[in-house]
Structure 1
């Protein structure tokens, strides 16, 4: 058993070339980072301006202008305050969420095991370049498109690209030269997940040039639809605008037919139309949504847009991938059980194994020693000298 372990560790130390650090930096500056196309960051001014795009808010702003023009400042001031409060609540929520999402993105940035200067090192996936040689094992997310140099029982979940739920079985590349098509068994693709096996891959396409990058570029061209609540409020706003204009015209015509002064009837009609507008509705909706967001935040749920709360309330089933989302995508041994004549349960911590809360060396228990020896021989761990 010791001979097998020594042989495996020696094999893991075999030097592989890959790219040099200088060459990788040169390619990185030429090709750019290995990232999907990102939407431009929304500035604070743009987020604030976006709060005034609602139909109801626009109607209120028009009513403010008309009130000021008619000298009715007592009516204009409350409406202005309501609009500002409404915009401030929406702005604060979206701005905070934008910053939080940026921090979360930095925290969850993926990494890759790449050969640089003949050594296997962990680097941010954004620094992987074409020509890099990287390794994969079960649970890894593929950092870029590449062809397989060597593998053992390698399979990948490519449902994000192809929709196929069954993992794709992979093999080593021989003489194939087509690196731009999908469904190639000698290729791995950015964003897919290794379900089992191990492999060594040479990167051929990164960032927007990868298959996932092409999909991302197409998705960016899709406009973000309105939520059901926004659609309903928009319809209500347009209906109110039509009603207000109709009332204004009817009052104006009726007054003129009765012989009232034209200017007086115009002002009367406009005043009645403004009075018919529910100034408090936008603020009421925003405050209700803001309270709902606060409750969700207490339960560790982050809401990007206020109106999304109402949409989420309509959901009955939510489907999500738990790995790396609900769970940490890490497996840790916490206990070891032996089924020999002297069955024992050993505890495992970062410091080592223990029995009856006492630290234990591997050689102090033959059963534990054999288990650890098998574990050392049957894994992908590597000794990386400093």
Structure 2
């Protein structure tokens, strides 16, 4: 018999439909020119593979090593240094040229190593679809690599299988798919073949199974309607590729500062060269002076200092369970103004928990959270309860365990659910009341099952009746959607266990009140079967379940907030960081969680600041930024909308941190100023797209990371405040020498010695400074605030003036008393270093005096000062270093004068700090 897919489709090409969820399954099959039973023929499949390409996401090129190395040299300050290398080499100053070139090479190497840790987000997305699939070809089920799938293929779905492509479901047998990574929904979604309207969102398309999602229960078949880049996962792939990683506030400011400083240095060097020529100095000598000025003014240690300071911040964050994948993220966290947080698994535990049980006799609360069977049943006053046998509460909990296909498992002290999370929550609720799985199976062994159906919206099981005298009596247990179960009930259990007529209105009102709290509510019912009503298991089906059930009660559950989430949210808000919940879940559930974690006022009345994906879609580009800025909860949000709202917030001037764990979060994670992924519950795609990964998946870790980020930026600012006076002072002292027609007080090689050794041994010790008190009570830094504030510039200019005056005075003094030029220059060199060491202790706090901070709160300062002292002794007294750097030994009297200059400079700096200190309140 000929295969219809090889003959008919040869003349009629298959065109995958744009909205397969809006068409009947048979029309989708017809459009794809396939066979709903036999699938495609091999020849036709091979042709379509050539036409549509492999079922894989497109690869992207990454920058090669040469390009990454070139990027390290693409900096105006580096250009000036390279020009200095050429000039000094042309003048025959090979030692100077070699030292300057060595500085450039070291800085480039540090940057290259960091840059080599390439982005892997797109590779992570591609790995999600590298799997095998059960496919029907020519009537035979065979296992194929998912890359070989083509539109029109008939795929068999089984429990535990990963969906290999976008499928239109053609058959579903209790099929449920975990789409949390794609849509943010915490519970598996039941699938069926029903036709849906075209405008239905991805999260509500229950007749579709999407690439990268996971089959949790049941089985089914589906026809492939999209592969590779055309899948929903492919759309996210394009969004990730289009969302360019943004520069951080620090890198933007440093780039601006570098350009400004480069222009100033070049102009000053040119002016120096011109003045020298006008004064009749030799061209070679004038060139050397100009190069010395340029080299002196450039903060060569700044790139390395930035990297190392941020790396120390990374280490501190790692100790607090936050792993930073890109160094600038440390600083960005410190300036974050908005955190866009996913709900499921970030603010919540991603573990359904029964919080309340309602029966006609009243409501009972359950303590504990998650899947650990630890907790109690309590009444409204908090008193512990034990359900009386045969009571409505006892039956409600027993049915929740008996009519249940899930299982609890413990591994390394952590509990997890095998199966549906909702059913797992009911198992835990029963265990808290002493009705664990083993006991219930002993009391009421299961004899038959009617599985859950999305049409019926209930599940039923048949058991031996644990309360009957006759051991052959049976009982039907039913659980499911409240409306459907209550509709089938004619009676209900009273408080004393007796039967009475059902009060449907009371039950539905109770369910509505619980749902208003964001709880998911399921109803339970029973029906004893005695005498002629008994059914053999083989005859027990949906039609055998009686219509006159007995309502036992309702179980209301919620994915609970993380224990520290409320405190962390409060801390962020106190620090001036706005927190917004961005989720694919329903608005009611999201709003309830937002109230529990403190994002919304529990006692507030009226509409909450909540926007849905539909609301966002209705807003134009002008209205969106203000609406998103004022919203607190954004629910039912698609991946495109997450990306759009991050861009809108950035357009309002915010520094945005986006947290997430699913595939749908990847584009927004990449676009955000800092992307934060979950390490335990997050997908590899989210981790690879993020700048930081939380090892414990806890939102509270974000607060710790923000605190560490602020501390890192503070320490970086302290380093800049410490290092710039040296560079400015070195440049000015050269300029003074040129203007006065005098010999240079410091040579270019000596300047490089000062800059590189002090930056490493002195300045970098500020990176180990502990966080200042009150760091999380001040507002975030204004993203537009310049790197150098007015107060900081005033301090820098003061110290620069002290360095110029002290070094120039001592240089002239030493020459006037008969010292040689090398000895005078060595004295000036040591003035710079010793004054820097004194100033270092002042830079530990912008306001407090050094003695208030304690000498041993940062022991690395003492280590660094000691190492620098040893280095100064070496460059002053070792003959080999004297020859290389043009230095000479100093007598003891010169060291006393150096100490006097440093003490006077320290006194002036301390006085200035005291005068500028903010006035304390009462």
TM-score w.r.t. structure 1 length? 0.63
Residue in 2 aligned with 1:273?
A: 294
Which of 94, 109, 116 is the matching residue for 1:88?
Answer: 109
The Cα of 1:46 is off from its aligned counterpart by 3.5
Residue in 2 aligned with 1:365?
A: 442
Residue in 1 aligned with 2:93?
A: 72
User: Does structure 2 retain, via aligned residues, the 8 Å contact 1:145–1:187?
Assistant: no
The Cα of 1:242 is off from its aligned counterpart by 0.8
184-193 vs 285-294, which deviates more? 184-193
SS of equivalent to 1:237: helix
Residue in 2 aligned with 1:258?
A: 279
Residue in 1 aligned with 2:170?
A: 149
CA deviation vs aligned residue, 1:200-239 (integer Å, no higher than 9, x gap): 4311221123455356446635654322222111111111
Matches of 1:185 and 1:105 in 2, distance apart? Answer: 22
Matches of 1:44 and 1:185 in 2, distance apart? Answer: 45
1:43 aligns with 2:120: no
1:313 aligns with 2:334: yes
SS of equivalent to 1:201: strand
Matches of 1:42 and 1:373 in 2, distance apart? Answer: 61
User: Does structure 1 retain, via aligned residues, the 8 Å contact 2:59–2:123?
Assistant: no
Which of 236, 239, 247 is the matching residue for 2:260?
Answer: 239
Matches of 2:228 and 2:95 in 1, distance apart? Answer: 57
Matches of 1:119 and 1:327 in 2, distance apart? Answer: 43
Q: What does 1:322-337 correspond to in 2, within 5 Å?
A: 322=344
Matches of 2:189 and 2:408 in 1, distance apart? Answer: 35
CA deviation vs aligned residue, 1:137-179 (integer Å, no higher than 9, x gap): 9999865344342458989979979x9xxx9998747799x9x
User: Does structure 2 retain, via aligned residues, the 8 Å contact 1:147–1:186?
Assistant: no
User: Does structure 2 retain, via aligned residues, the 8 Å contact 1:82–1:283?
Assistant: no
The Cα of 1:248 is off from its aligned counterpart by 1.7
The Cα of 1:30 is off from its aligned counterpart by 5.5
Cα distance, 1:364–1:139 mapped onto 2, change above 3 Å: closer
CA deviation vs aligned residue, 1:84-136 (integer Å, no higher than 9, x gap): 3333333334434658x799668766757644456778876545432233467
User: Does structure 1 retain, via aligned residues, the 8 Å contact 2:54–2:147?
Assistant: yes
Residue in 1 aligned with 2:637?
A: none
Matches of 1:136 and 1:125 in 2, distance apart? Answer: 13
The Cα of 1:31 is off from its aligned counterpart by 3.5
Cα distance, 1:286–1:123 mapped onto 2, change above 3 Å: farther
Matches of 2:323 and 2:146 in 1, distance apart? Answer: 26
User: Does structure 2 retain, via aligned residues, the 8 Å contact 1:248–1:269?
Assistant: yes
Which of 302, 311, 321 is the matching residue for 1:290?
Answer: 311
294-303 vs 117-126, which deviates more? 117-126
Matches of 2:203 and 2:117 in 1, distance apart? Answer: 41
User: Does structure 2 retain, via aligned residues, the 8 Å contact 1:19–1:115?
Assistant: no
Cα distance, 1:223–1:293 mapped onto 2, change above 3 Å: same
User: Does structure 1 retain, via aligned residues, the 8 Å contact 2:168–2:222?
Assistant: yes
Larger relative contact order (C-alpha < 8 A, sep ≥ 6)?
Answer: 1
Matches of 1:304 and 1:364 in 2, distance apart? Answer: 49
Matches of 2:153 and 2:223 in 1, distance apart? Answer: 6
Matches of 2:452 and 2:189 in 1, distance apart? Answer: 24
User: Does structure 2 retain, via aligned residues, the 8 Å contact 1:112–1:124?
Assistant: yes
SS of equivalent to 2:257: helix
Q: CA RMSD in A?
A: 5.8
Q: In terms of Rg, which structure is larger?
A: 2
The Cα of 1:69 is off from its aligned counterpart by 2.9
SS of equivalent to 1:317: strand
The answer for unaligned runs of 5 or more in structure 1 is 1-14, 381-386
The Cα of 1:45 is off from its aligned counterpart by 3.9
Matches of 2:109 and 2:178 in 1, distance apart? Answer: 47
CA deviation vs aligned residue, 1:344-386 (integer Å, no higher than 9, x gap): 9999559x9xx9xxxx99997242x32x954x94499xxxxxx
The Cα of 1:285 is off from its aligned counterpart by 0.9
315-324 vs 35-44, which deviates more? 315-324
279-288 vs 257-266, which deviates more? 257-266
SS of equivalent to 2:73: coil
Which of 209, 221, 225 is the matching residue for 1:204?
Answer: 225
SS of equivalent to 2:339: coil
User: Does structure 1 retain, via aligned residues, the 8 Å contact 2:189–2:206?
Assistant: no
Residue in 1 aligned with 2:718?
A: none
Cα distance, 1:312–1:70 mapped onto 2, change above 3 Å: farther
User: Does structure 2 retain, via aligned residues, the 8 Å contact 1:245–1:273?
Assistant: yes
Residue in 2 aligned with 1:229?
A: 250
Cα distance, 1:301–1:69 mapped onto 2, change above 3 Å: farther
User: Does structure 1 retain, via aligned residues, the 8 Å contact 2:166–2:227?
Assistant: yes
Which of 55, 78, 89 is the matching residue for 1:57?
Answer: 78
How many residues are treated as equivalent by the alignment? 350
